[in-house]
Amino acid sequence: MPRSFHLVPALALAGVIASTLAFGQAAGPGTLTLAMPIEPPNLDPTTGAAAAIREVTYRNIYEGLTRIDRSGAVQPALAKSWTLSDDGLTYRFTLESDVTFHDGSPLTSADVKFSLDRARAPDSTNAQKQLFEPIAEVATPDAQTVVITLKRPTGLFLWNLGWGDAVIFSEKSAATNKTNPIGTGAFKFAAWTRGDRVVLEKNPAYRAAAQVKLDKVIFRFIGDAQAQAAALKAGEVDAMPNLGAPELFEDFQKDPRFKTVAGSTEGEIVAGFNNARKPLDDARVRRALTQAVDRKALVDAAYNGIGQPIGSHFSPGQPGYIDLTSVLPYDPKAAKAALATAGYPNGFSLTLRVPQMTYARRSAEVMAAMFQDIGVTLTLEPIEFPGQWLDQVFKRTDYDMTIVAHTEPLDIGIYARDAYYFNYQNAAMKAIMAEVNATADTPQRLALLGKAQKQLAEDAPALFLFLLPKLGVWNAKLKGLWDNQPIPANDVVEVSWH
Amino acid sequence: MLRPLLSRLGTALATLILGSLVLFTLLEVLPGDPAAVMLGLEAQPDTLAAVRRELGLDGPAAARYLGWIWGMLHGDFGLSYTYRVPVAELIADRLSLTLPLALLAIALSTLIALPLGTLAAAKHGRAADTGVMIFAQLGVAVPNFWIGLLLILGFALTWPLFPVGSFPGWGQGLLPGLHALLLPALALALPQAAILTRVARAAVLEVLSEDYIRTARAKGLSDQRVLVRHALRAALVPIVTILGLQFSFLVAGAILVENIFALPGLGRLLYQAMNQRDLIVVKDVAMLLAAVVITVNLLVDLAYLWLDPRLRRAG
């Protein structure tokens, strides 16, 4: 036998020796290792839309005047209190005292003015510039007071200030926050190994430092769903707030070492119609197509039965939600009859541009089968998301149907826009949304949002399928992680081990 | 000697320039505006324009092409659109993982393939040969990401000997680094080893039928000595050639394997950059890979020139 054959046992031996080295699972009691599927492109939430930026930085590193809590409600943050003038136009905020940025400089009203003016400037690259559009002026009567005057009453203004896009920067660090974030939050940025992890450390100067239990937070970026599950099982990762693969979720539900929570997100999975194209410009056709889809069966097939069917573009986690899944219930016979009335007794053919995401692919296949029952042939055409999709569907609206999750919170206003990829034009919807925006009174605003939901459910500008669930899996000894995701965030300020 | 040398150098340079042009043009026509990807589903037209200006995407194509090449010649690979750090830094970081991973994979596949291939050739037609060939057939058929999953299941979850995918960094020492890279290297190496085993077997079989082997046997050398001293040595030439050719498969395989094992390597960087339309990173990494392949080919060519005097006179 040639000498080289001895290498096989030698290699095995080397493996055994290597394995005796302590590895993984070494995190101390004050450390939390949390895995996310996507790495943030940078750490500045005011210059990019990527949810991953917020999932690392929101409240942990940066804070805004207000914040949105785990239940989706607006809470004080850097502003400890505020008043609103009777005409609904002037907000007067009082800032928390003794707040410092991570570089040691104190927070003053000038920082707030700088941040908001920067966000609404003509050359601003803020992805949600429209949130700041209602601001007419930001004044700073003293270091602890900020007065914001609006052009018109804006019902969602305090909510808007709680977005990741509205966090407060210091002028000194604004240009470098992408790579070296300086905020006022409970955790300071410590290190970033690109492609692998971002490490945060507890900020001892935080105003409520005593309540923060974690010393260190490691955000690991693991794209592959199998790799995520393996890292959790091996104990190398403590929490996966948003597991990528529903079929792996069941496995964790049976394992007592883990806590599993199927929470809600703001991600409405919507099969968009191109309302400018025949025959989809006919509401009767859109309604018929909606009636052809059994949403419950679709969720079972596409997402292992986890995920709540929706009848309009609104998350069940939001205040003001109404269940409208029964407005156009599953009824293929009625759908076929409606198509005949609309002039299509023999059905027609449509093309559906399907992005590569699992939920999209599977939902599309189920929909194609269900459409077949009413004589509509759906051709599935794969399209790459985001690049190709943004170009072809979003920008040039070159499509019949598509399918994508809309993850921005409270984004029902897109149906009132002049140029949005659905090409939906409806004066009634525009009037309702204008009224919503001008109403600061909460019950009244929620009633109007209900009206908007009904309008969409009945007019069916898109086929509303189900809400993308947040499949949280974490070590059973952890507490304080968010069950739901009212905005993109992994707020770990209140997380602790027990 | 000089003319063929210059001609090969010239060809390599022309290939490099042509490659850069094709790459630039392809990325120009690729759908997907980096600014739109950054700003998401709520993007407003004026914000898009502002971001495009910031990224330097609004000049004429020729100027941007020349700027890119000029920068690279000066070692300036530009700023990544998404990360906003120098691309050269990103690439250097990732190479410190991918290069050792690739070398480990090549070493492992050679260590597996040479003995197996030689064994199969020596036992030609017998059970051992059949066994090895079945292994080789399996190895060719099974993709490396699937092997990666099996390895994780076996050696990281069921029998937790290895981490499932976290690279501690070389700062932690050589041993923890190698420990973390062994499973992914094995996943990369096995399909290659399968191909290499077949090549080694064929090469050794061919050598074994040569006259000088018969001479060696006639001199009374043992079978083992004949195999190792004579047959294997002669068979190394085609084996090394195949190893060189496998380099590109290694890169493609590394993209998948690095994703399965959550390793921050060059393959994963390229994959992420494609998804995020970080076109400058895509351009730079692809150009770098092209340059490496072209250089390897050039070196092989030059080595042949040096080895085989007949080639010097031709061309």
- Using CA atoms, how far apart are residues B121 and A489, in angstroms rounded to an integer? 60
Integer-rounded Cα Rg, in Å, for chain A is 25
Task: Tell me, yes or no, whether A214 and A249 share the same domain.
Answer: yes
Task: Tell me, yes or no, whether A271 and A390 share the same domain.
Answer: yes
Q: In what order do the strands lie in the sheet with A377-382?
A: A377-382, A349-354, A401-402
Cβ-Cβ contacts under 8 Å, B44 against chain A: 129-130
Residue A207: which domain range? 27-43+182-264+471-497
pTM above 0.90, yes or no: no
Query: How many domains would you assign to chain A?
Result: 3
- Using CA atoms, how far apart are residues A93 and A97, in angstroms rounded to an integer? 12
Task: Tell me, yes or no, whether A332 and A406 share the same domain.
Answer: yes
Measure the N-to-C terminal CA separation of chain A; round to a whole number of Å. Answer: 58
Q: How far is B161 from chain A (nearest CA, A)?
A: 5
Q: Is the pLDDT of residue A28 over 80?
A: no
Mean pLDDT of all residues in A276-291: 96
Kindly determine whether residue B156 and residue A230, on different chains, have CB atoms separated by under 8 Å.
yes
Q: Is the pLDDT of residue A21 over 50?
A: no
Mean pLDDT of all residues in A18-37: 65
Q: Is the pLDDT of residue B247 over 60?
A: yes
Q: Is the pLDDT of residue A225 over 50?
A: yes
Q: Which of residues 32-71 of A touch B (CB under 8 A)?
A: 39, 41-42, 47-50
Kindly determine whether residue A222 and residue B264, on different chains, have CB atoms separated by under 8 Å.
no
Task: Tell me, yes or no, whether A92 and A119 share the same domain.
Answer: yes
CATH superfamily of B87-314: MetI-like (1.10.3720.10)
So what's the pLDDT on residue A27?
Answer: 54
Nearest in space to B113 (alpha carbons), one of B206, B25, B238: B238
Q: Which of A176, A207, A239 is the last residue of a domain?
A: A176
pLDDT tens per residue, range A269-281: 999 999 999 999 9
Three-state SS at A49? coil
CATH of the domain at A438: 3.10.105.10
Best to test chain A binding among B37, B119, B149, B239 (most A CBs inside 10 Å): B37
Which DSSP symbol is given to B263?
A: -
Q: How far is A365 from chain B (nearest CA, A)?
A: 24
* Burial class of residue A200 (count of CB atoms within 10 Å of its CB; 0-12, 13-18, 19+): buried
pLDDT tens per residue, range B211-238: 888 888 888 888 788 877 777 777 777 7
Q: Is the pLDDT of residue A18 over 50?
A: no
Task: Tell me, yes or no, whether A239 and A304 share the same domain.
Answer: no
So what's the pLDDT on residue B314?
Answer: 53
Cβ-Cβ contacts under 8 Å, A234 against chain B: 156-157, 160, 163-164
Q: With bands split at pLDDT 50, 70 and 90, how would you rate the model's confidence at B174? A: confident
**Residue of B42, B94, B119 with shortest CB distance to A408:** B42
Q: Is the pLDDT of residue A29 over 80?
A: no
So what's the pLDDT on residue A478?
Answer: 96
Highest mean pLDDT among A18-22, A338-342, B158-162: A338-342
Q: Are A258 and A476 in contact (CB under 8 A)?
A: yes
Q: Is the pLDDT of residue B153 over 50?
A: yes
Task: Tell me, yes or no, whether A313 and A438 share the same domain.
Answer: yes
Highest mean pLDDT among A6-15, A381-390, B220-229: A381-390
Residue A195, both tokens: 């492609």
Q: Which of A124, A157, A176 is the last residue of a domain?
A: A176
Kindly determine whether residue B182 and residue A221, on different chains, have CB atoms separated by under 8 Å.
no
Q: How far is A332 from chain B (nearest CA, A)?
A: 33
Measured between CA atoms, the residue of chain B closest to residue A38 is B272
Cβ-Cβ contacts under 8 Å, A390 against chain B: 32-33, 36-37
Which residues face A262 on adjacent strands? A471
Measured between CA atoms, the residue of chain A closest to residue B169 is A193
Kindly determine whether residue A7 and residue B111, on different chains, have CB atoms separated by under 8 Å.
yes
- Using CA atoms, how far apart are residues A60 and A203, in angstroms rounded to an integer? 10
Q: With bands split at pLDDT 50, 70 and 90, how would you rate the model's confidence at A94? A: very high
Mean pLDDT of all residues in A73-100: 95
So what's the pLDDT on residue B165?
Answer: 66
Kindly determine whether residue B264 and residue A394, on different chains, have CB atoms separated by under 8 Å.
no
Task: Tell me, yes or no, whether A257 and A401 share the same domain.
Answer: no
Q: Is the pLDDT of residue B86 over 70?
A: yes
- Using CA atoms, how far apart are residues A40 and A177, in angstroms rounded to an integer? 13
Q: Is the pLDDT of residue A128 over 50?
A: yes
| Mean pLDDT over each residue of chain B, to the nearest integer | 84
Cβ-Cβ contacts under 8 Å, B272 against chain A: 39, 195, 223
Mean pLDDT of all residues in A470-487: 94
Nearest in space to B168 (alpha carbons), one of B96, B273, B252: B96
Q: Is the pLDDT of residue B261 over 60?
A: yes
Nearest in space to A170 (alpha carbons), one of A244, A75, A101, A270: A101
- Compute the half-sphere exposure of residue B149: CA atoms within 13 Å on the CB side of its CA: 10
Q: Are B117 and B196 in contact (CB under 8 A)?
A: yes
Task: Tell me, yes or no, whether A128 and A60 share the same domain.
Answer: yes
Residue A418 in contact with partner chain B when CB distance is under 8 A = no
Q: With bands split at pLDDT 50, 70 and 90, how would you rate the model's confidence at B1? A: low
Q: Is the pLDDT of residue B274 over 90?
A: no
Task: Tell me, yes or no, whether A144 and A232 share the same domain.
Answer: no
So what's the pLDDT on residue A2?
Answer: 43
Residue A199 in contact with partner chain B when CB distance is under 8 A = no
Give the number of other Cβ atoms within 10 Å of residue A476's Cβ.
12
Q: With bands split at pLDDT 50, 70 and 90, how would you rate the model's confidence at A210? A: very high
Three-state SS at A155? coil
Q: Which of A310-314, A476-480, B263-267 has the lowest mean pLDDT?
A: B263-267
Q: With bands split at pLDDT 50, 70 and 90, how would you rate the model's confidence at A25? A: very low
Q: How far is B205 from chain A (nearest CA, A)?
A: 16
Q: Is the pLDDT of residue B276 over 90?
A: no
Kindly determine whether residue A395 and residue B261, on different chains, have CB atoms separated by under 8 Å.
no
Task: Tell me, yes or no, whether A292 and A412 share the same domain.
Answer: yes
Kindly determine whether residue B277 and residue A5, on different chains, have CB atoms separated by under 8 Å.
no
Mean pLDDT of all residues in A31-57: 92
Mean pLDDT of all residues in A47-68: 94
**pLDDT above 90 coverage of chain A, percent:** 77
So what's the pLDDT on residue A442?
Answer: 85
Q: How far is B120 from chain A (nearest CA, A)?
A: 12
Residue B196, both tokens: 């290499």
More confident position, A450 or B57: A450
CATH of the domain at A122: 3.90.76.10
Q: Chains A and B: how many Cβ contacts under 8 Å?
A: 190
Q: With bands split at pLDDT 50, 70 and 90, how would you rate the model's confidence at B123? A: confident
The domain locations on chain B are 2-73, 87-314
Which residues face A406 on adjacent strands? A268
Task: Tell me, yes or no, whether A482 and A449 share the same domain.
Answer: no
**Residue of B33, B50, B164 with shortest CB distance to A230:** B164
So what's the pLDDT on residue B254?
Answer: 82
- Using CA atoms, how far apart are residues A434 and A134, in angstroms rounded to an integer? 13
- Using CA atoms, how far apart are residues B102 and B189, in angstroms rounded to an integer? 9
Residue A479 in contact with partner chain B when CB distance is under 8 A = no
- Using CA atoms, how far apart are residues A84 and B212, in angstroms rounded to an integer? 99
Q: How would you classify the pairing of strands A377-382 and A349-354? A: parallel
So what's the pLDDT on residue B308?
Answer: 64
Q: Which of residues 166-195 of A touch B (CB under 8 A)?
A: 178-179, 193-195
More confident position, A5 or A85: A85
- Using CA atoms, how far apart are residues A128 and A131, in angstroms rounded to an integer? 6
Q: Is the pLDDT of residue B311 over 80?
A: no
Task: Tell me, yes or no, whether A400 and A315 share the same domain.
Answer: yes
